[in-house]
Structures are given as structure tokens and as C-alpha cells.
Amino acid sequence: MSRTIKITGMAEIMYQRMEESWQTSPRVTYSMSAETGAADTFIKGFNEAHAHENLKMNYNHILMKACALASKKYELFNSSIESGEIVVHDEINIGLAVATEKGLLVPNVKKVDQRGFEELCEEVSRIIGGARAMGLSYDDICGGTFTITNLGMYGIERFTPIINQPEVAILGVSRIYEKLVMEGGEILQKRYMPLDLVADHRIIDGALAASYLNEVKGFLEAPERLMD
């Protein structure tokens, strides 16, 4: 027998925002993969160095920092469209989609470009824990300027996320895969992370999106640059 499920609470908010985004933004998806060897080494070194502090880095921290610094160079990715005008924000606040028992939440970390990795790891741990415990503040949820959603841990190979209004772009991250590549006459096995950037085509064209995504890819493949 059929039954009706009333859409309320967080599900209702998500329903409304996704419907608004779908109707508002003419979106285009740009796909690229980044080799993860350098990031793997960087993460391992950081975690070993900070084991006594109970700090643990993962790909999300590198992605957040990479997107923040890329947004400093390409400022339209840190903007929104309001009343027919482009508003470029003075803070780079990166949101991270978090699945909870009551639905999807997107808390954000403020001023990611200005934070070191130690501080970033602590803050990401705090907002994820707060999201799952339903203990976030209004400030934790509001003010995001760019969103990352990572479904790699669920085995997703590629997907096209919906832009989190009023932002103008979102980065989807999928499961890391391995493939054989030829380098210097040798066959090597390497790991790659799929990146799918969805951008609002009203203000972000293909060339700009490609430049931004290449910048993020460059940081992932040389994460020491994120320490500059």
C-alpha cells in the first residue's frame, strides 16, 4: 500500500534550495582528473608529524585549501549573483557537504585561504562533528562562497552536483582510480582523483572554468605549493 512522506525540516530546506538552484543557474560541468601521488605523500607526512596532536589530514583539507587559493586568483569563483549584479566576496569561505541522519548539511570554514593546515584540520573536524550532532551555529551554515562535495568514499565514479545557491560553482570529487601510464619509456601504475566542476554559465565560461580547474589540479599534484 502506498504511503505519503511529508517533506519537513532539513529535507524541506534542501528540497527548496535544490529546486531554486535547478531553475536559476544554467550550469555546465567540466571534468578533469588529478594524479594523487604527491598528495598521498604530503598527507602521510603531515599525519606522522602531528600524530601526537591528534590531527589528521585527508584529501578534503587539501581540496579546500586548493580551491580557496584558486579562488584568490580567479575571483569570480568566490562570487554570487544578487539582484542582477555580480558580488565578489571579500572572504573565501569553503563549504563541505556533510551527510547526517537528518539530511545533507553544508557547513563552511571561514577564510580558508588564510588558515594553515593545522588550524584547517581542527576547524573541519569541528564543523563535521557539529553537523552530525546537530550542534552547528547559524554562522557555521551561512556565508559560504564555494562548496566541495566528496562522494569518493561511497564508490561514486563521477557525478554532477547541483550548485549551492547563491554560489556560482561547486566541485564534485569521486572515487580515486588506478591506471597504467607510460613515462620515460616505463609503464607505471598511478592513482587519479576525478574532479567535476559545475559552474554557472551566466558568469563563468568554459575557458575560465578550465583555468580554475587546472589551478586546483596543479595544487593537488604539488601540494607543497599550498604552504607558500
Q: Amino acid identity of 167?
A: E
Catalytic member of 61, 89, 205, 228 = 205
Which ranges of 55-203 would DSSP assign to H, the alpha helix?
Answer: 59-73, 117-132, 138-141
Which cell is 56 given?
Answer: 589528521
Query: Catalytic: 61?
Result: no
Given the residues 40, 50, 89, 201, select the one marked as catalytic.
Answer: 201
Is 201 a catalytic site residue?
A: yes
Distances (CA, A) of 53 to 41, 48, 56, 61, 220: 19, 10, 9, 17, 24
Q: CB–CB of 91/145 below 8 Å?
A: yes
Q: What per-residue string of b and e applies to 112-128 under the rule 16 or more CB within 10 Å gives b?
A: bbebebeebbebbeebb
User: Which residue numbers are catalytic?
Assistant: 201, 205
